[in-house]
């Protein structure tokens, strides 16, 4: 007997599969599993044990090596519909495993609508075990774009959101944990939930799916569901932004009762941003009348008078004799949100706590997803010194600016300095030492300021309006004397401040994004005007006008010596100054000519005309470098204005347009253009830099294939034409100039220009919605 037993053991050992067999399942294995499953399912009474064993073996084989799912696809819908929870769970596990180990298997399963629908339908199960398996499978399955698109067709995102809202226990269970080997910055910490694996799985799957969606896909989520889930995400983010939760991240690592996810705080922030992109309830506009009274006074023609007499020409002061309710109508919600109790240190903490970095978005960006890709992993991080905030004072003797945090952080020039809770306390100390706190991007942080900025942008026909905050202690000067590349409305909220504005150094207005660093400002010989601002006063400073401001001690009239003021900045971007309008009008005319004429013209004629249009763009840029009118803001897209104001404004804009066109007709010179291009090439500069935004725009038109987007090739083509066909090119240039100036129609340009403005505004609105949602401030 003992001998026979040893022989049986020996035979079993000999029958054990080799390592190669274990790690490389044969195709016959999957076929055998398929046959067994088919046989089991064909019986009236299913063999639950056999089905579970087959599914277990199939999942194991998938994890060891990719296995074809083709024969199994026909069975998956039936298995997913099983009333046996363990069978549904095993099937979901198989789908998840197949999706992870093989791209082909993922695509194969995703192509079967019945299987996808069956998987998504299990999210409606009432059994926690099934929900957990299915949620994990959905997370694994969503690894490819095609699979995500298929799941969204069957409302997977909607169901994930709904279930999470039903099962989530509460904010007190949310924690953070850190990967000891990874990034320890607050936005890189990861989300955990105490003793609740299911809620964490649904949160993870939902956030991952949201962050992989296109903008239009998120619009398919019912607004009420999206808003409810967004509110919970914002509450979770507020919870994990608390100082004690952040400091407790290491403790969570050591405690085993917390379920840990791979969702970082930055992933959570991205999900909030995406859900907020098109949320109409987040930001809106104030009524035109409220903003007009707040900035331009009681008169119905106040805005029109301002445009006629002061806009981009001269400073303007609106003085409040008494505290004006109109100012409170405009800034009331913002002032209430500050919780001002008379203590400036607490005011600093109230303003700075909970702020996140507002990374800049390209001025000509028309796809918000490009921005999100650029800031991947950084969205939701704390404010950054210099980018978001400055703590600065100007020495009275040297008139030089000193930055408080450069004394404490020598690395802040080389690497981003993320603000911590301790840095906020240091701001309070800096204020006591005479430093001003300057905070950028209030329109991205406060709903009330975003509403003011939006109305003002509509009034001036611009894509957006910026808003900054300045808090200055008594007897101090924050910024040194400087001028801005944008027009500014200074709105005195608390306290008082003394301003000195000097005459501009030249007639040309500075362009937005011009490099103003190093610009020497000698104001000793300049004419100057002095203004004293008190609570409720508004001071307008045109771009290019040097200015400085300082506080005194208590002025004796009941106003404290410190100052809190906001600046509303009208930023005139290149497409929306008159030079940009000329470029845009030429572009639209040229595109229309291509549609009308190119079918009947020869290749050389087409090339000469196309090159002449590009040369005329350069000519417009040359004229704009010397003619002040080309740099002024175009207001043809201004809306929300009373009819009498709009009619007067529109007529003035029409006159300016024809002045610009006449300048193009009379001062565009062929040889001057060629000389300018040659000089730019010698300096290794781009001769078409001023119209970079137009290149991007042209890429979106139907005729973009005809429009040569390779600028280096175009320059080579130009030089070749000049060498071989210079006379013909000059003739074509003069012909194109004459036809354009004679055929361009003001009303058509205005219509197209407004459409361009709307494109810019759409992306800015999405950006502002996302950022305001991350701050959750009124």
Report DSSP letters for 747-776, one per residue: HHHHHHHHHHHHHHHHHHHHHHHHHHHHH-
Whole-number pLDDT of residue 128: 94
Which of 632, 752, 763, 695 minimizes the C-alpha distance to 363? Answer: 763
Distance of CA 426 to the CA centre of its chain: 30
Domain end (from 543, 571, 599): 571
Residue 7 forms part of a structural domain: no
38, 362, 553, 581, 640 from 573: Cα distances, Å: 67, 11, 39, 11, 21
Q: Is the dihedral of CA 489, 340, 389, 774 positive or negative?
A: negative
Q: Could you say which DSSP state residue 418 is in? A: B
Domain total for the chain? 4
CATH value at residue 433: 2.60.120.650
Beta-strand runs (E) in 13-128: none
Residues of the domain holding 104: 22-154
Instruction: Determine contact, residues 562/494, Cβ cutoff 8 Å.
Output: yes
CATH value at residue 35: 1.25.10.10
Residue 15 forms part of a structural domain: no
Instruction: Determine contact, residues 570/456, Cβ cutoff 8 Å.
Output: yes
| 378, 449: one domain | yes
| 268, 396: one domain | no
285, 289, 764 from 459: Cα distances, Å: 11, 11, 16
Residue 698 forms part of a structural domain: yes
Q: Return the number of other C-beta atoms located less than 10 Å from residue 159's C-beta.
A: 21
Residue 770 forms part of a structural domain: no
For residue 602, give every residue at least 6 positions away whose Cβ sits within 8 Å of its Cβ, in sequence order, or none.
Answer: none
Whole-number pLDDT of residue 705: 40
Burial letters for 624-640: b for 16+ Cβ neighbours within 10 Å, e otherwise?
A: beebeebbbbbbbbbeb
Rounded Cα distance, 513 and 620, in Å = 19
| 414, 495: one domain | yes
Residue 694 forms part of a structural domain: yes
| 461, 345: one domain | yes
| 398-445: pLDDT as tens digits | 888 999 987 544 444 567 888 988 999 999 999 999 999 999 999 999
Beta bridge partners of 194: 258
| 455, 567: one domain | yes
Domain end (from 538, 571, 604): 571
| 252, 111: one domain | no
Whole-number pLDDT of residue 23: 39
| 629-670: pLDDT as tens digits | 999 999 999 886 778 778 888 899 999 999 999 999 999 999
Instruction: Determine contact, residues 138/120, Cβ cutoff 8 Å.
Output: yes
| 385, 292: one domain | yes
| 582, 700: one domain | yes
| 141, 172: one domain | no
Which of 472, 505, 531 minimizes the C-alpha distance to 315? Answer: 531
| 656, 546: one domain | no
Residue 766 forms part of a structural domain: no
Residue 2 forms part of a structural domain: no
Residue 771 forms part of a structural domain: no
| 205, 147: one domain | no
Whole-number pLDDT of residue 160: 96
| 735, 591: one domain | yes
Whole-number pLDDT of residue 186: 84
Q: Is the dihedral of CA 644, 650, 656, 658 positive or negative?
A: negative
Whole-number pLDDT of residue 233: 95
Please list the ranges in the chain whose pLDDT falls under 50. 1, 8-27, 408-412, 517-518, 701-709
């Amino acid at each position: 007997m003992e001998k026979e037993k040893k022989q049986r053991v020996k035979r079993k050992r000999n029958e054990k599969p080799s390592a190669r067999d274990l790690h490389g399942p044969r195709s016959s294995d999957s076929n055998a599993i398929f046959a067994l499953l088919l046989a089991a399912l064909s019986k009236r009474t299913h063999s639950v044990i056999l089905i579970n064993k087959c599914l277990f073996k199939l999942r194991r084989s998938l994890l060891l090596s990719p296995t074809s799912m083709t024969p199994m696809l026909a069975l998956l819908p039936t298995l997913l519909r099983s009333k046996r929870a363990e069978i549904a769970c095993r099937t979901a596990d198989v789908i998840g495993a197949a999706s992870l180990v093989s791209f082909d298997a993922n695509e194969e399963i995703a192509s079967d609508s019945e299987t996808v629908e069956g998987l998504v339908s299990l999210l409606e199960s009432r059994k926690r075990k099934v929900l957990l398996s299915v949620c994990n499978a959905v997370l694994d399955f969503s690894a490819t774009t095609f699979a995500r698109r298929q799941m969204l067709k069957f409302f997977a995102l909607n169901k994930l959101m709904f279930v999470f809202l039903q099962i989530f226990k509460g904010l007190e269970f949310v924690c953070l944990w850190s990967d000891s080997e990874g990034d320890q910055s607050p936005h890189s910490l990861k989300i955990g939930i105490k003793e609740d694996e299911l809620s964490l799985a649904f949160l993870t799957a939902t956030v991952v799916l949201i962050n992989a969606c296109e903008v239009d896909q998120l619009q398919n989520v019912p607004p009420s569901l999206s808003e409810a889930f967004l509110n919970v995400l914002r509450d979770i983010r507020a919870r994990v932004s608390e100082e004690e939760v952040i400091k407790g991240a290491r403790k969570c690592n050591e405690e085993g009762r917390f379920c840990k996810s791979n969702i970082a705080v930055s992933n959570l922030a991205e999900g909030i941003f995406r859900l907020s992109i098109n949320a109409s309830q987040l930001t809106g506009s104030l009524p035109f009348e409220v903003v007009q009274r707040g900035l331009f006074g009681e008169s119905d023609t106040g805005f029109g008078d301002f445009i006629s007499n002061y806009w981009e020409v001269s400073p303007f002061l609106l003085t409040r004799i008494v505290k004006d309710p109109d100012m409170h109508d405009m800034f009331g919600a913002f002032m209430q949100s500050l919780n001002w109790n008379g203590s400036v240190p607490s005011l600093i903490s109230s303003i700075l706590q909970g702020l996140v970095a507002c990374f800049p978005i390209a001025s000509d960006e028309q796809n918000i997803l490009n921005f999100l890709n650029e800031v991947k992993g950084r969205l939701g991080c704390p404010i950054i010194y210099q980018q978001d905030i400055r703590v600065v004072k100007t020495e009275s003797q040297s008139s030089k600016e000193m930055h408080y945090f450069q004394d404490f952080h020598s690395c802040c020039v080389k690497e981003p300095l993320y603000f911590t809770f301790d840095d906020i306390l240091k701001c309070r100390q800096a204020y006591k030492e005479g430093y001003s706190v300057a905070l950028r991007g209030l329109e991205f942080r406060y709903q009330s300021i975003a509403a003011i900025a939006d109305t003002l942008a509509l009034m001036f026909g611009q894509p957006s309006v910026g808003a900054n905050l300045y808090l200055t202690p008594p007897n101090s000067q924050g910024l040194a004397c400087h001028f801005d590349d944008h027009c500014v409305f200074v709105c005195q909220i608390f306290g008082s401040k003394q301003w000195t504005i000097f005459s501009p150094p030249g007639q040309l207005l500075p362009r937005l994004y011009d490099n103003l660093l190093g610009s020497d400002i000698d104001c000793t010989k300049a004419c100057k005007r002095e203004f004293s601002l008190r609570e409720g006063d508004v001071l307008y400073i045109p771009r290019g006008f040097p200015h400085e401001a300082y506080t005194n001690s208590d002025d004796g009239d009941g106003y404290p010596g410190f100052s809190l003021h906001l600046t509303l900045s009208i930023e005139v971007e290149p497409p929306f100054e008159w030079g940009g309008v000329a470029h845009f009008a030429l572009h639209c005319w040229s595109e229309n000519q291509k549609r009308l004429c190119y079918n009947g013209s020869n290749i050389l004629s087409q090339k000469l005309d196309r090159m002449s249009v590009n040369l005329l763009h350069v000519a417009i840029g040359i004229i704009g470098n010397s003619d002040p009118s080309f740099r002024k803001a175009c207001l043809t897209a201004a809306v929300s204005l009373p009819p009498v104001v709009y009619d007067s404004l529109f007529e003035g804009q029409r006159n300016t347009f024809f002045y610009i066109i006449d300048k193009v007709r009379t001062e565009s010179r062929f040889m001057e253009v060629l000389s300018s291009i040659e000089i730019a090439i010698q300096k290794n500069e781009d001769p078409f830099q001023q119209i970079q935004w137009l290149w991007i725009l042209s890429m979106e038109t139907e005729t973009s294939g005809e429009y040569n987007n390779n600028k280096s090739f175009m320059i080579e083509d130009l030089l070749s034409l000049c060498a071989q066909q210079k006379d013909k090119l000059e003739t074509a240039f003069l012909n194109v100039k004459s036809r354009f100036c004679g055929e361009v129609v003001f009303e058509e340009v205005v219509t197209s220009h407004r459409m361009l403005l709307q494109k810019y505004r759409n992306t800015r609105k999405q950006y502002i919605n996302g950022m305001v949602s991350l701050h959750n401030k009124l």
